[in-house]
């Protein structure tokens, strides 16, 4: 390949490690103090069947408050008298009735939801769901027959999940493994807006630091974007409620935190830049299969997936809807934190981006699975900083924050030998909605990948100029044997000149000159 020869430091995509080829066999599935497994692990090791792990629900600040917990109450009024009832009884009654119908209208769905969310009776609108169903041509309109099936799935919650789901809170290292069926049941509950204490927008509300999970925001404010989102989500529910296509694996959600004192001292990191494959063609989720795939996240995981947002993270969550369940238990990410999701399934195909995004139909996910029945798909959610003005980012405090964030996301478990660690599939992290400088962010990610000794597949998303510039810059840095520490200092110098307004040059142009001057000395 001529292009590769010209820039010797660049590698082919095939030279980067991926799962399952580099997969290290896992120990038998067990739960620990920090890993909650929701299927019976003994039964799993004996028969490989997935049955719910016994336990009980807990109603306190450390666990998800479940709609089927006995502590969940609501007030009902009959002939002027108010009294408390178990909220799950109400949910069970209304969704139970709905589940018995062959088809249900949007009005039926709305009526049921408002019965056990009486506070929101005149606040929640279902216009998007309504318009969506009305506008869908009859021959494609399976939606009204899927609404009862989602209700049937939702009311299975008490049998499906028998123990308390811990919240993945700030500063914790904790993980949760659920079966895909359990996730579907939780998402069916989210669809029917059953989760208690999750609807308040008040900044002092109990879950103010958590993403929203009930789907009411998806059902309001009709737009073309909503149409495509609903097509993807309802297709997911159709698949998981059909006995022929029901998924049967597990998915793990893991929150990781690295304390400040365990972060690298970037100034003195000696590693050189890692192997890089950079291309303007393809995208993370297709060409990066089997690698660690970066979700360009919001610190509120999933960002605007249940609202109007429709960029990289939201699209990822729409085509892999199991990712949405992370919103149920993942507290807003702090600067030194990230979330790994292993084993989610891709259900849909898509085309376009943002306003041009379109659901393109079913995707058959043939990704193989590991010993825990998790698909060989690992996604890491890392949130970049949002810059109102581009100039804010040329500052070593912000650069160090981004380096630490990327390091947290890229660092593999210490127990895995280097040959078994897949490369990282990433791209313009933080450079769309969050306004970052693609050149700076590419270097930051390469520096973090260097520190953890992982190769990088970098997808510039049609940006051929960035592809060429990054290839050239990588080549220069590798040829000059520039260490991460040197690069960190160089970035410090660039920030200084930017602050003093003494250059208008882009980072790479400025660096090239600087490096050439140095190499001539
Ligand atoms: N593969 C490779 N590159 C991509 C892909 C893809 N599939 N999709 C987009 N890009 P953005 P951010 C490129 O704006 O700036 C969400 O609401 C493309 O060049 O999604 O980190 C989150 O919830 C695009 O411009 O990420 C956050 O709130 C660039 O990646 C917020 O956006 C950045 O994508 C994060 O914004």
- CA–centroid distance, 462 to ligand 1, in Å, is 13
Beta bridge partners of 37: 177
Instruction: Band the pLDDT of 262: cuts 50, 70, 90.
Output: very high
Nearest CA to ligand 1 atom 1: 283
pLDDT at 520: 75
If you average pLDDT over residues 10-16, what whole number do you get? Answer: 95
What residue ranges in 336-423 does DSSP mark as E strands?
A: 337-342, 348-351, 358-362, 378-383
pLDDT at 1: 43
If you average pLDDT over residues 51-79, what whole number do you get? Answer: 95
The residues annotated as belonging to the active site are: 295, 313-314
If you average pLDDT over residues 57-64, what whole number do you get? Answer: 96
309 Cβ below 6 A of ligand 1: yes
Instruction: Band the pLDDT of 201: cuts 50, 70, 90.
Output: confident
If you average pLDDT over residues 436-445, what whole number do you get? Answer: 98
264 Cβ below 6 A of ligand 1: no
If you average pLDDT over residues 60-77, what whole number do you get? Answer: 96
Complex ipTM value = 0.99
Q: What is the DSSP string of 180-224?
A: HHHHHHHHHHHHTT--TT-----TTSTTTTS---STHHHHSS--H
148 Cβ below 6 A of ligand 1: no
pLDDT at 4 over 60: no
User: How many whole angstroms separate alpha carbon 10 and alpha carbon 282?
Assistant: 17
Instruction: Band the pLDDT of 8: cuts 50, 70, 90.
Output: low
If you average pLDDT over residues 189-211, what whole number do you get? Answer: 95
pLDDT at 5: 44
Share of the chain above pLDDT 90, in %: 93
304 Cβ below 6 A of ligand 1: yes
Q: Which atom of ligand 1 is nearest to the CA of 459?
A: 2
- CA–centroid distance, 358 to ligand 1, in Å, is 16
User: How many whole angstroms separate alpha carbon 260 and alpha carbon 451?
Assistant: 16
Q: What is the pLDDT of residues 128-162, one digit of tens each?
A: 999 999 999 988 889 999 999 999 999 999 999 99
Which of 293, 312, 390, 441 to mutate to test ligand 1, by most ligand atoms within 8 A of the CB atom?
Answer: 312
Please say whether the beta carbons of 224 and 186 come within 8 A.
no
300 Cβ below 6 A of ligand 1: no
pLDDT at 521: 65
If you average pLDDT over residues 180-188, what whole number do you get? Answer: 98
438 Cβ below 6 A of ligand 1: no
Please say whether the beta carbons of 249 and 337 come within 8 A.
no
| Longest CA span, the chain | 91
pLDDT at 337 over 50: yes
Beta bridge partners of 179: 250
């Amino acid at each position: 390949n001529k292009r590769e020869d010209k820039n010797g430091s660049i590698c082919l995509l095939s030279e980067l490690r991926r799962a399952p080829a580099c997969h290290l066999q896992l120990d038998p599935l067990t739960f620990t103090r920090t890993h909650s497994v929701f299927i019976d692990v003994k039964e799993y090791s004996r028969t490989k069947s997935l049955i719910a792990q016994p336990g009980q629900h807990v109603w306190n600040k450390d666990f998800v408050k479940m709609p089927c917990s006995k502590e969940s109450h609501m007030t009902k009024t009959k002939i002027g008298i108010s009294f408390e009832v178990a909220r799950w009884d109400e949910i069970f009654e209304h969704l139970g009735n709905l589940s018995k119908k062959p088809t249900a209208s949007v009005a039926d769905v709305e009526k049921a939801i408002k019965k056990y969310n009486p506070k929101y009776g005149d606040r929640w609108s279902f216009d998007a769901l309504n318009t969506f169903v009305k506008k869908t041509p009859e021959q494609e309109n399976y939606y009204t027959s899927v609404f009862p099936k989602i209700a049937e799935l939702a009311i299975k919650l008490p049998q499906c999940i028998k123990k308390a789901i811990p919240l993945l809170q700030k500063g914790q290292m904790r993980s949760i493994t659920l079966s895909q069926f359990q996730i579907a049941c939780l998402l069916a509950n989210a669809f029917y807006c059953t989760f208690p204490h999750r609807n308040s927008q008040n900044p002092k509300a109990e879950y103010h630091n958590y993403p929203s999970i009930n789907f009411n925001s998806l059902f309001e404010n009709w737009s073309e974007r909503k149409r495509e989102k609903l097509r993807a989500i309802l297709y997911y529910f159709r698949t998981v409620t059909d006995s022929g296509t029901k998924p049967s694996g597990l998915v793990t959600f893991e929150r990781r935190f690295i304390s400040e004192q365990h972060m690298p001292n970037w100034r003195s990191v000696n590693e050189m830049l890692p192997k890089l494959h950079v291309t303007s063609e393809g995208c993370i989720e297709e060409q990066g299969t089997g690698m660690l795939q970066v979700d360009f996240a919001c610190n509120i995981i999933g960002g605007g997936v249940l609202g109007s947002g429709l960029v990289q993270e939201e699209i990822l969550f729409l085509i892999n809807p199991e990712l949405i369940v992370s919103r149920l238990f993942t507290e807003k990410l702090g600067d030194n934190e990230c979330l790994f999701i292993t084993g989610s399934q891709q259900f849909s195909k898509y085309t376009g981006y943002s306003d041009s995004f379109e659901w393109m139909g079913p995707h058959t996910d043939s990704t193989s699975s590991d010993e825990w029945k998790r698909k060989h798909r690992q996604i890491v959610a890392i949130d970049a900083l949002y810059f109102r003005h581009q100039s804010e980012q040329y500052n070593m405090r912000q650069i160090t924050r981004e380096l630490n964030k990327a390091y947290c996301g890229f660092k593999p478990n210490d127990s895995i030998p280097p040959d078994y660690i897949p490369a990282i599939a990433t791209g313009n992290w933080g450079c769309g909605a969050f306004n970052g400088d693609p050149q700076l962010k590419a270097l930051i990610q390469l520096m973090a990948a260097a520190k953890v000794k992982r190769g990088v597949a970098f997808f510039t998303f049609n940006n051929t100029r960035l592809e060429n510039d990054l290839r050239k810059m990588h080549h220069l840095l590798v040829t000059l044997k520039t260490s991460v520490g040197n690069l960190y200092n160089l970035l410090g110098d660039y920030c200084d000149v930017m602050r003093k307004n003494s250059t208008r040059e882009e980072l790479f142009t400025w660096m090239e000159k600087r490096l050439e001057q140095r190499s001539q000395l």
